[in-house]
Chains A and B, each alone.
Chain A
């Protein structure tokens, strides 16, 4: 344990070192650029586009042109406008779903791991129940019962169901960390439990938490796209998934309207893939053993 602690110290000792290596890790840089680039497009794009994604603005089934960058749909809607708004919704679902799952997972994981005993037994049971619930089925049931579905509702529901694996991992790590003497020492200094968790336990798993945040974010986006694609997406907004679903519903493949479904499909793949690449890169940053010599 002593050598382990000493090793940790060598690795994590200098915070700035991580930033240094992260900014020089091609995977992290490429992954983050893609994610942030598309985010920027989703954030800023709609501000400059005057028309609404559901407005019939132009000729029908038009290929990409200078006027309509990504062409138009069978109904004459501007695909680029839809794309920009869709990005926005998808990121919103990612932040909401991932954020909610992160907060719940952390709270439950830390409480269970730090308190132990009966609290832990109970929370562990709860975690296992949610873990084995067929989340997709539950989501389908919930979604199909709701008349009006919005992006926010979707994000919240996804968040409520995707925290268990984070909770489990956080609990397991907290379990080992809370037995370190420095936790007892913090108690001898008159610190309260939440403060000890935040100041002594959490910093030791910062890298892990960052990585799970990224995975939750990507997972929520993917999950939302899947729900959208099977027709359970938002009824009052456009998302990347609903674009795909609409294009399929109107037989875009048969009509050769590739510009309708390729951009949203590529974007989903790019976001989720880029997040994954970022994660692999971060793993290399935090575990010097994985760094290439």
Chain B
């Protein structure tokens, strides 16, 4: 359904855009309906940049983003609005996602104003209530409150409910649970699982491997803006081929192992080189399993 083909993104930094910072390099992947695709990688590897390009918040420098085969970038405002009926996003920080001086349910009103101007008050209220119930929220408990009167988990779920008001096919979830506590986390994660069952595609950005393993069918591991390994979650996590993937997996703290037990051996990795150059090409090493050639 959603497809990225050889997408590059360079930010212009410095005075008069004199310097370039290439944040995403030659990334290609696709997300289908009812599938969760996780994007993992260290901080600064370009995960959020990919999410923002999919959401058309920033344009790709090169390459194409397609939805059902149609190019989506650089179109008119009305096209973009139509796109947002089908693709929505939720961000990392629930408190920054709401304008603190307004009530939280204003995010719903904005959706109504933009996408359902003709709907009657009562019908709309009904729709909002159903959407809130579907994400496990009690409408009476969250409506007409200011953001600071609600918990992070409630706020994130309200944002998911907001996205579900539109008949979305793809949800871009950029670290949506990294600021939640462990039990709320599982609730939101299970909610995503349920939505996936109903046919929603999810682009799940995270730096937590266990979360990626828990929720996703397929996974992409990124480093320095490029894909180093991707494929079915079982394959990539069960048989990591790239040294960076192995390091990542080795660095996940495990419940029954203490820090003092044994020092994990990390493999040496190639340093960050010229980001303008093409990254190492991906080679197929198995069914739905690709790895970038390590130097």
Contact = CB atoms under 8 A, between A and B. Distances in A.
A187 B96 CA distance: 14
Contacts of A118: 16-17
A139 B211 CA distance: 65
A256 B162 CA distance: 75
Given A13-B148, A190-B114, A203 B80 contact: no
Interface in B36-59: 52, 55, 57
B112 to A, nearest CB: 10
A181 B107 CA distance: 12
B231 interface: no
Interface string A142-179: 00000000000000000000000000000000000000
Contact of A6 (B57, B88, B95): B95
Contacts of B31: none
Given A190-B81, A191-B110, A185 B97 contact: yes
A116 to B, nearest CB: 10
A189 B99 contact: no
B99 A182 contact: yes
A94 B137 CA distance: 53
16 contacts: A1-B95, A1-B96, A5-B96, A9-B100, A13-B146, A117-B12, A121-B16, A182-B98, A184-B91, A186-B110, A188-B57, A189-B111, A190-B80, A190-B84, A200-B99, A203-B101
A171 to B, nearest CB: 16
Contacts of A191: 110, 114
B88 A188 contact: yes
List the 9 closest pairs (A to B, CB-CB), nearest first: A190-B81, A9-B100, A9-B148, A181-B97, A181-B96, A181-B91, A190-B114, A12-B101, A6-B148
Nearest to A203: B101
Interface string B67-85: 0000000000100110010
Interface of B: 12, 15-17, 52, 55, 57, 77, 80-81, 84, 88-89, 91-93, 95-102, 107, 110-111, 114-115, 146-148, 159, 179
A2 B96 contact: yes
Contacts of B84: 188-190
A180 interface: yes
B96 A9 contact: no
A189 B110 contact: yes
Interface residues of A, number: 27
A185 B17 contact: no
A17 to B, nearest CB: 12
A41 B107 CA distance: 47
Which residue, A6, A13, A189, has most C-beta atoms of chain B within 10 A? Answer: A189
A118 B17 CA distance: 8
Nearest to A12: B101
Contact of B148 (A10, A121, A192, A200): A10
Nearest to B112: A189
A8 interface: yes
A286 B12 CA distance: 37
Given A187-B57, A188-B55, A12 B100 contact: yes
Given A9-B148, A190-B84, A204 B101 contact: yes
Which residue, B12, B89, B110, B114, has most C-beta atoms of chain A within 10 A? Answer: B110
Nearest to B77: A192
A185 B114 contact: no
B93 A1 contact: yes
Contacts of B148: 5-6, 9-10, 13
A8 B98 CA distance: 12
A14 to B, nearest CB: 9
B93 A181 contact: yes
B97 A182 contact: yes
Which residue, B91, B92, B179, has most C-beta atoms of chain A within 10 A? Answer: B91
Contacts of A190: 77, 80-81, 84, 114-115
Contact of A182 (B57, B96, B114): B96
A86 to B, nearest CB: 41
Contacts of A10: 148
Contacts of B89: 184-185, 188
